[in-house]
Structure 1
């Protein structure tokens, strides 16, 4: 039934794998002020502190305990078996989608496992922690790599590609995202405008102002595999209830 699908994933899908979300209820990013560790100005003031912050995130991601969960794996299966067009857009900077097998993937907020040259913007894969020895190979003199992370005040990555996919999709699914931070918060409006079916998967109840046509409340690791089964079977989402989900 579907030919072009866009999936947006947020912190909720990775939280089920054991990754702590950056932002706490008090607005701090794991006991740090946002302006200190998530802005270009903070990096300019104290690059070593910012590097330590992201090195701690890198260590958590590679501690041997964090693995893709059933939702990540189901989306990878969808990519392999769906005969239409699929784009997974993630707000997460971890590599759990890649580890699960996803390749048609766009990290709109960057990637924790990469550094970026501040002059050429070329990216480099990191095999260990940030430090003064991490420099680019594209410039003379070599430039110190900064985290390949989109900070507050910077433009998300790949917006033109995302916009085109939303303009032409017939199904848009948002998984584990608060839907409050723009531009991602506006993706559902774009998909609705172009006639797509829009589905939200989240642990929390639907906001009364939500623009999604369907809200499935529950764990992504339980709901997403069922959604993928329905899509691959040629069924329309919402025609029959899913187990373990509050269907609205």
Structure 2
């Protein structure tokens, strides 16, 4: 992702990309427009966007876009239409909305982990999990071996993250893999009663990977694999 990934703006863009909405002129004096403006100041998710599209397609179009009362669109409430009032009495934050911790943009305080042993433990766990992910995808024979080169970590100071018990900690771990593999990655790690677990479903690639993963048929794996030379040649000859 390059240098931009390390800015506060870049971090937010990774987790919650910018959404720009253009409202038709005929609705810019309507109640739904004012409601949309109010809702834009709240934390929203892609589930809300999905609910909004359903609202436009199945409900607002039949009422000439006059409805702003809260409405449930699915049995399992995950998203709310941006054209309507949000659910009364429900705070909109990462604890109450279906937002995985990895993609939460709430500004929790974080402090650098300075203890070398702890940083190394977190880094080793992270690379082991990344290697295990590639192994589960059955592509390890095509990728350079994953080893830890460098690690930095920050610990979240808030005890209110997702109602964490007192004996649970969350860390933001950023690590580089050793050559010949390439890559700088980030992943949240959870520690509970001394046991480590990934706090997110995906590793975030923090630097550009170019053609390093071109041997991967699955594009989702390209950021995580540094292809061995023979793997790249094999993929190239196959495509030819």
Larger-Rg structure:
2
Which structure's relative contact order is higher, taking Cα pairs within 8 Å and 6+ residues apart?
Answer: 1
* Pairwise same-fold verdict (TM > 0.5): no
TM-score by length of 2: 0.27
